[in-house]
Structure 1
Amino acid sequence: MPTAEHLIAQTDIFPWSDTFATGIEVIDAQHHKLVDLLNKLAGHMAFGSDELILTAVFDELADYAVYHFQTEEGVWARHLGQDSLVLAHHQTHREFVAQVGQARLKLSQMSSDATVEEMVSFLTHWLAFHILEDDTHMAKLVLAVQSGCSMDQAKAQATAQMKSAAHVLITTVLSMYDNLSMRTLALLREVSQRRRAEEKLRLSSNIIESSTDGIFITDTQGLVIDVNPAFCLELQRTHATLLGQSIVALMPSLLGTEPGQTAWQACTEAGHWAGELSMRKPDGELETIWLKLTRVLDETLQVQHVVGMISSISQLVARHQALENAANHDVLTGLPNRRLLTDRLAQALQHSKRNRTPLAVCYLDLDGFKPINDRLGHAAGDEVLRVVAQRMQHALRGADTVARMGGDEFVLLLGDAGGMDEVTHRLHQMMSELTEPIETHAQAVRVGISMGLTLFPADPASADDLLRHADQMLYAAKADGKGCLRVYASSAG
């Protein structure tokens, strides 16, 4: 199907005719351009383009008209000097620029088809008069002067050629154009509206066809008139074998039960029903599903169809869990991310306060990681991060958490940590394990480990401040030559 842009390009609201030619090539070429821009604007109006597109095309037309006026005035002045007809023609141009400004304001406030038609009619009328009357008259003067006539002779000759019947002709032509323009606009709007309706229908059909929820449509007797692929899969039946069948007979465990019949009755009376029901699958398994029923009315407001949608709650739960996991865990390592760490730290603090046990918060960074990325590539760097994450997880206990903060930075939460000596011993042992060689696809590599530590309640800070204090100690460890552990000393202690 042709696109709106293609139809706009193919449509002339104001057809060009060579009879419009004035005989001055540069002016005729610019007249043709003005007509093209008018057609472009009318086409966008007909196809319901948004305000920004209409404004841009209108501005292009207005700007080109001003450019054309400058060209015209240069031609008239070169051949006719400052004759009163030239000055009057200049004034006509100035008045048009003012009218365009008013039309531009109307365009920005456009809210009805009548405004669209008014805009096209205004531009069509002006352009026709400008070309067929004003510019044609001025061009005949120029051509007469160029042929050797005096100014008075040129005026007499141009007047004789134009004749009084020219205005009647122009009025007749404009009447024809008005009729053609409005009919063309109406036709284009109808084509555009049909095209949008067809696109909407195709979109709706695609959504139904690709939906993972089972969808069925029945008549008022409950006989199936259409189903989507997901519904066929749910019942393990083909599309053809389902058409014309009773939906109750097809799904007795869902709609043949008292709750199912109640739901159907509520839908036909109220127009909609949604709720949780049980359904037995073809393999005999009982599954909890979410059923939505909607009635469709005809023009006389009588029930014509019933549309049902079946969603597996177990699938929704699994989908929700997958989304939750993605939102709370680092994609590369599978570790908790910063978001989940915030929640874990809050819980760990509450546990520490309630049980009066220490909580260790440790910031950890890999030394020498960037050269691995630079020398061996990001695939090797990613493998190093995964191995380090696995080694830390193996070294932790059930009450502990390790989270990736981004890049090569990690945070450890050690619950029920014991004293400072016990914590530092565990962390030094972990540092030793983490610095063991790591096999990548390229070669074996080593990384160093720097750590910053603070211990609650010896450091009686908030969750955010505990992280900040541990981060400060990490920077201190790096400043001291890396590969070491630095502990925050609280002033409260």
Structure 2
Amino acid sequence: MEIDQEIFEEACDPLDQTVEYIELTLAEQAKILQFQQNVLKLVALGSDCDQVCEKLCLLEEQLLPNSIASVMLLDEAEQQLNVYVAPSIPQEAIIRLNGLQPGPTAGSCGNALYCQAPVFVGNTFTDSRWGDIRQIAIDFNICACWSMPIRGKGGRVIGSFALSSFEHRMPGSFHRKLLEIGSFIIGIVLEQRHINQQLHLAGKVFEHSTEGIMITDSHNIIVSVNLAFTRITGYESDEVVGKNPSLLASSHHEADFYQNMWHSINSLGHWQGEVCNKTRDGKLFFQWLSITAIMDNHDRVTHYLAVFLDITEKKQAEEVIWRQANFDMLTGLSNRNRFYDRLEQDIKIAAHNGQRLALMSIDLDRFKEINDSFGHATGDALLKAAGNRLLSNTRATDLLAHLSGDEFMLILNDVTDSDDIEQLADQILEKISLPFDLEGKLAYVSASIGITLYPDDAQHIETLLQYVEQAMYAAKAEGRNRWRYFTPAMQKAAEIRSRTVADLRSALALGQFYLQYQPIVELESGKVHKAEALIRWQHPVHGIISPAEFIPIAEESHLIIDIGNWVFQQASRQVACWQTAYGSDFQISINQSPVQFHGESSAHWASDLNRMGLEGNSIVVEITEGLLLDASETVSRQLLAYRDAGIQVAIDDFGTGYSSLSYLKKFDIDYLKIDQSFVRNLTPDSSDRVLCEAIITMAHRLGMKVIAEGVETQQQGDILKLADCDYAQGYLFSRPLSADAFAGFMLE
């Protein structure tokens, strides 16, 4: 056991002043000096505390024949005494002595702690101070017991040192001196043990701490590092001791960073913060570093203690989280969240500096067709490639974001010339229109771009975003592959649309819709056993509103689902009446929007017809070619369900979309309706006649019948009849009629 020099000197110095040596004989003085020398020699040689205390007890027993010595210590709660060392006391007695509570009748040792003073008992069998443990004295023949308190740091009593005799007797000066010296040395040794334990614990904490620890001297030269330091930095202790900590420094921080750090240490005595350093192999790592100046009793710096935690993984995790929160995982571009934050900041800067900025909404045209034709993996590759092309046209001060699907947004800062905006828009259109090579598959798309300006068009984010979307939709509506600035007319159209949506929401409940029926004439016989149901809206303020105006808005707002179901119910009831009047083969055609297919809102139509006692072929569902081109699993499933239920399907406006024989064969189409644009200019020598004849021939070869729309003249009707067209509808035969007027038409 190593002992501090000051503690050792303290142990030796005051011993001669404890008891007047004048009362001792020369022989007794010699024995005491020899005893003192033997014990302190053990201490000086580094014996552990147990060995010193045991040897001290044995030496005391030699100097007082027919006696036994013991050391008892308080427990951590300082409530009970337990035997620490008693080399000559039987184990049975030790067991009974353990747990002794200090008190006035708790024996010599219990009294010594209770009174915090020496206690000398010459007859334990009769002395009241041994009342609680007298049986122990009797059982082990302890006739007398002299106890001296053991004091620790600050004079605090921590235990007792006792000599117990097998004879009834009181101590003389010599024995008191022995007890005094013994208790004093034991106190010193125990105190040193506590210090050594603390130092050992501190050393273990230092060495095995998960935090890196570095200690430097007052000149900032490293004197010690722990294992965590080596693990984090890669430097072994012998590689850094004697060197300046600057060997860890990276180029991440400027000189003023370290100047501020040392200013804090010198003025406040400490500093903490995040530091980027480099390891032995040159890799950067981030640490949370705390530096404390260690002072001596004269407030002079003796050392600096640096404790740091490696936060590299935490920083990397934070970086990942930040990127996930601010960047699109597919394209690597800024996402919606970062776009909004950046737009808000850029508007503030533009307002402060009196600058303009432009906002571009870039939407890829016909991207869904690529996605459906080649698969989502190819669609994702196209989005990524398109993002890279767009990014190559942006400046460092601009921000390109991928918001969702095929929608990109571009912020152009400090715009001074509109020509620059338009030139960039043209470059974007040109780049996007170039073919995309996606793993050997060539894909072609274009872009529709909307542009709005701050503060020219608006000063608030929400309004700017609304305007730029309107401009983009205008570009798309005008034919795609072009750009358009926002104009007040677009806002007016948007306001009208908004009002229309609001009115549409209540139109159904208020009974403002009604149906008209246009006869479909069989050209060969001139008979009518078909009609098309056409919806009309009687607005209480604006009068009759054309379906061409409100149907697209109803589709965008998904109100078409409820409206479409209403049309089906009305047409079903009407066809039931007319089958009674005109024959069981009478049919009514209704138009069905693609939106209704995607929501599967019409999946119940077959069962509804069945409940009404109607055959499936009482209703013909008219769809557009675009729906077949975009035939998802949901669409395919519903079309096949119609076929199984006997509900017939017609392709409306055939020839104006993306005609494909494979789609026609796949879905068992019953009718093709030739669009009125081919019929309008139909003459014996026109190219439209050739197209109509080709459509009719093709349809018949595929087992389908043909209905011509928009027939207005007898010549058109005759040409179609000669071409073997099956049915026709148009003003030549009748305008759309109310149910009552239709009955009158049938009578004629």
Give the shorter-chain TM-score range.
0.3 to 0.5
Greater RCO (CA < 8 Å, at least 6 residues apart): 1
Which protein has the bigger strand share? 2
